[in-house]
């Protein structure tokens, strides 16, 4: 079953009630919608745009089958003429977006939809669902990878992510943002992400003797990682040493895994035991309630840990579990539109974002109206034309990952730090866009262009409906 058919009803009811009203009013002129983040979550200095591929797959195949139409008819809210309209519904619009893996900041469009108003309206909920979540996870994982200082990070969180789709999409976003692999086998099969994982405590507990369990597992999987903290961690390490001495040249265990306790002290003592036994080649893999701050502290203290398995706190973005994201109408029937609600004002019209660089580092962005000439690198690119994905839109996860790595490497150090930066990354508005904001706002007083980014960073939403 195609994504579009499967998820045609994965929308909010008000999208469909508005659609029926649009159809009755004959409102089919071209609309432009921007999808963007209003502000950064606390302790975040940047975001990693992610989820575009799922958005385009959905848009290409979106349609209502007989079962979906029958259900809508049963609700009693929709006229037969509107259901006939939905029966032939296909997305025929254009989409512009920043490439997946691109660093973005508040107010900047991650994606723009240009389509007949009913089409552009209907897709809001699904696009926000996919791009919000994957951007949230990729942005969190980027911080974890930064904290790990080049040491491998593996996604271990499937069992505690919020549902099946989240489990798959979190693994995808994590790989794009720099994780080396995942424990999620379906994600490995679907996306080609390298798989990682060996044994759980239950394997040791199922045996009557810990040393016997470790020996049997190493016999089945010689090049493996052995979990040593089921009972007494250091005693478990010594059992690995004894196994190495017994097997001699047949011992090929790559690492031990620490999953609980004081990881700093246990890693130091484990390293000493391994080194004294001439097992310097055996690494130390750590897991268990890790996030970027704990990893950063461990490595600052000199913990001899070689790789990290990170789960719950990473894929759920536990410290900042949502982005205040929005999908807003910015133009209809050739006229720019602008929302003026307090704390939720938008910028009107189709846009482009130009990134300014100096000595290989990003120093600021300028957001312009579409078609303006501006120095810098344009970020927003066409990705879909008349409902069909453009062939040069990247789909290869490795290529997207490399793009993300280049984007992160170009960030200034104060933006990459884990703490909230006192110096915001500057996002300014072109004079033409600023003038258009003032024209549409009338007497409404707006913040000046050079304070645009600061106006939108790290302040909590007001609560209630986030429309």
Q: Do 330 and 349 contact (CB within 8 A), yes or no? A: yes
pLDDT in tens, 138-193: 999 999 999 999 999 999 999 999 999 999 999 999 999 999 999 999 999 999 99
Query: Which burial class, exposed, middle or buried, applies to 321 when counting CB atoms under 10 A from its CB (0-12, 13-18, 19+)?
Result: exposed
- Give pLDDT, residue 343: 78
Write down the mean pLDDT value for the chain. 94
pLDDT in tens, 288-316: 999 999 999 999 999 999 999 999 999 99
- Give pLDDT, residue 453: 47
pLDDT in tens, 7-55: 999 999 999 999 999 999 999 999 999 999 999 998 899 999 999 999 9
Overall average pLDDT of the 249-271 stretch: 98
- Give pLDDT, residue 461: 41
- Give pLDDT, residue 464: 39
Overall average pLDDT of the 257-284 stretch: 98
Give the rounded distance of the alpha carbon of 174 from its chain centre: 7
Please tell me the pTM assigned to this model: 0.93
Name the percent of the chain lying above pLDDT 90: 90
Specify the pairing of strand 325-332 against strand 335-336. Answer: antiparallel
CA distances from 456 to 37, 46, 198, 325, 436 (A): 9, 12, 44, 11, 19
């Amino acid at each position: 079953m195609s994504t579009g058919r499967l998820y045609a009803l994965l929308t909010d009811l008000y999208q469909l009630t508005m659609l029926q009203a649009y159809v009755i009013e004959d409102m089919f002129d071209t609309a432009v919608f921007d999808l963007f983040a209003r502000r950064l979550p606390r302790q975040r200095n940047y975001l990693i745009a992610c989820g575009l591929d799922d958005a385009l797959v959905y848009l290409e195949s979106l349609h209502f089958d007989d079962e979906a139409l029958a259900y809508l008819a049963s609700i009693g809210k929709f006229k037969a003429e509107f259901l006939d309209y939905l029966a032939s519904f296909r997305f025929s619009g254009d989409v512009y977006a920043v490439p997946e893996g691109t660093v973005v900041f508040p107010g900047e469009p991650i994606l723009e939809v240009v389509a007949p108003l009913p089409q552009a309206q209907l897709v809001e909920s699904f696009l926000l669902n996919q791009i919000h979540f994957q951007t949230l996870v990729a942005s969190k994982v980027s911080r974890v990878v930064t904290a790990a200082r080049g040491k491998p990070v593996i996604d271990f969180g499937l069992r505690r992510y919020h549902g099946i789709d989240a489990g798959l999409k979190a693994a995808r976003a994590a790989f794009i943002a720099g994780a080396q692999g995942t424990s999620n086998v379906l994600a490995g099969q679907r996306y080609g992400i390298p798989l990682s994982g060996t044994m759980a405590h239950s394997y040791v507990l199922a045996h009557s003797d810990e040393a016997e369990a470790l020996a049997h597992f190493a016999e089945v999987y010689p090049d493996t990682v052995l979990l040593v903290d089921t009972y007494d961690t250091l005693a478990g390490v010594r059992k690995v040493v004894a196994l190495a001495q017994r097997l001699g040249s047949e011992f090929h265990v790559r690492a031990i895994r620490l999953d609980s306790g004081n990881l700093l002290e246990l890693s130091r003592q484990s390293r000493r035991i391994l080194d004294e036994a001439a097992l310097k080649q055996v690494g130390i893999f750590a897991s268990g309630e890790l996030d970027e701050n704990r990893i950063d502290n461990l490595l600052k203290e000199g913990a001899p840990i070689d790789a990290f398995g990170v789960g719950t706190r990473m894929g759920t973005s536990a410290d900042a579990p949502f982005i205040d994201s929005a999908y807003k109408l910015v133009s209809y029937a050739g006229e720019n539109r602008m929302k003026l609600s307090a704390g939720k004002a938008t910028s009107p019209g189709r846009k482009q974002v130009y990134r300014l660089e100096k000595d290989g580092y990003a120093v600021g962005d300028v957001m312009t109206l579409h078609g303006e000439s501006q120095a810098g690198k344009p970020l927003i690119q066409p990705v879909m034309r008349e409902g069909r994905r453009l062939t040069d839109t990247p789909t290869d996860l490795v290529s997207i990952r490399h793009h993300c790595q280049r984007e992160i490497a170009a960030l200034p150090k104060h933006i990459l730090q884990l703490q909230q930066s006192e110096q915001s990354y500057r996002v300014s508005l072109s004079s033409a866009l600023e003038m258009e904001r003032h024209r549409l706002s009338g007497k409404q007083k707006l913040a000046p262009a050079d304070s645009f980014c600061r106006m939108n960073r790290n302040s909590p939403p007001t609560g209630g409906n986030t429309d």
